[in-house]
Structure 1
Amino acid sequence: MNDIVDLTVLFYRYYSMYGHVEKLAEEIKKGAASVEGVEAKLWQVPETLPEEVLTKMSAPSKSDVPIITPNELAEADGFIFGFPTRFGMMAAQFKAFFDATGGLWRTQQLAGKPAGIFYSTASQGGGQETTALTAITQLVHHGMLFVPIGYTFGAGMFDMEKLKGGSPYGAGTYAGDGSRQPSELELQQAFHQGKHIATITKKLKGAA
């Protein structure tokens, strides 16, 4: 893929136990793919919990989205990272993956590359913004450029009539007891985030 002229490659890397983050990731990929000259790829990070534990947690089987290895990150021009919240921080599975990127950190191969964040929590006040804030430290040590969506989503950012996840830091959803799925408004915000970061990544690559 590196020999295709003017192609901007974005990696959408996520961890999803019950599928909520994965649904956002799929919509984010669609948004990125809507930008001409951008190739968007979905990747999962490895699961760290034993199968018997996942069974007790009633976690569904993983999708067939490929599992990424740390060194493959260097192939991308930009990233959007997605994960559920665990006590106001990213899930341990995603943190374990970041902990395995020491080789990339030593060589700073990800420095200067744009990155965004999206997330899922069980409830309002469940840590969506703190999850984003604590995740930014991972980007900083790699020299990546955090790209929030700000209020570029427009009126959807101010809708008070519907339950809606997400914030200026990135798209998000509320899972509740697991039965609630991302709403149409949340999916629209995810599509917007994909398009927004893809556009910025393409501009940065073109200016390099």
Structure 2
Amino acid sequence: MVHRAPKIAVIYYSTYGHVHTLAKEIAKGAKEAGAEVKLFQIPETFTDDILKKMGAAPRANDPVITIEELQEYDGYLFGFPTRYGRAVAQVSAFFDRTGGIWAKGALIRKFAGVFTSTASQHGGQETTALTTIPFFAHHGIIYVPIGYASPDLTNMDEIIGGSAYGASTLAKGDGSRQVSELELRIAKHQGETFTQVVGQYVR
């Protein structure tokens, strides 16, 4: 019997580049674990003028995901910064546009995970994942946490992002802190373990 590779979409929204950095590492881990992976961006809702005033990083070259394309993948790893412990408005707007495929049950038995970026240690590292789970539940999408299989998640030698719910980074209030090596390792681990779970289902 020929087994196909699981198809995984790494779908992200990144303001200052931190989530994009995590997304690339997660995609790397997923590919090394045997997945067919594609990076996508969440559609922007801000104008160029607003983004410039915010000091946002230039948009990456990855394509913007469409609602219809969600149906083509076995699993999704969603990455986005937090706003008050939940997904940013751009992500909420994208989720709100999925009513048509929800009515068809098009995403039932798909898989999803979450990764994020916060300004501080206690700025939504876990709640951002938790407040996204209702979207998955309403679509019948199976949420896959990373647990504590990665020893880096219990590292006490430095301040790091990441939790049992998914990889994350701490960007500082002004976005000046960059993703650390430990956070990159956790992100890669998430891509690998997510692929293993989805791959079992696909097989």
Between the two proteins, what is the percent identity of the paired residues?
Answer: 50
C-alpha separation between the residues in 1 aligned to 2:101 and 2:148? 32
In structure 2, stretches of 5+ residues that fail to align are: none
User: CA RMSD, aligned part only?
Assistant: 1.1
Residues 46-89 of structure 1: per-residue CA shift (max 9 Å, x gap): 10011111111111210101101111000001111000000111
- 1:1-208 to 2 correspondence within 5 Å? 6-36=4-34, 38-153=35-150, 155-176=151-172, 177-206=174-203
TM-score (norm 1): 0.94
C-alpha separation between the residues in 2 aligned to 1:158 and 1:35? 23
For residue 5 of structure 1, report the CA deviation from its aligned partner. 5.9
Structure 1 moving runs of 4+ over 6 Å: none
State how many pairs are aligned: 201
C-alpha separation between the residues in 2 aligned to 1:78 and 1:60? 27
Residues 162-184 of structure 1: per-residue CA shift (max 9 Å, x gap): 11001000000000121111100
Residues 78-137 of structure 1: per-residue CA shift (max 9 Å, x gap): 111000000111110011101111111111111111110000000011011111100111
C-alpha separation between the residues in 2 aligned to 1:59 and 1:83? 14
Letter of the aligned partner of 2:12 in structure 1?
Y
SS at structure 2 position matched to 1:61:
coil
Letter of the aligned partner of 1:188 in structure 2?
R
In structure 1, stretches of 5+ residues that fail to align are: none
C-alpha separation between the residues in 1 aligned to 2:198 and 2:63? 23
C-alpha separation between the residues in 2 aligned to 1:49 and 1:110? 28
Letter of the aligned partner of 2:154 in structure 1?
F
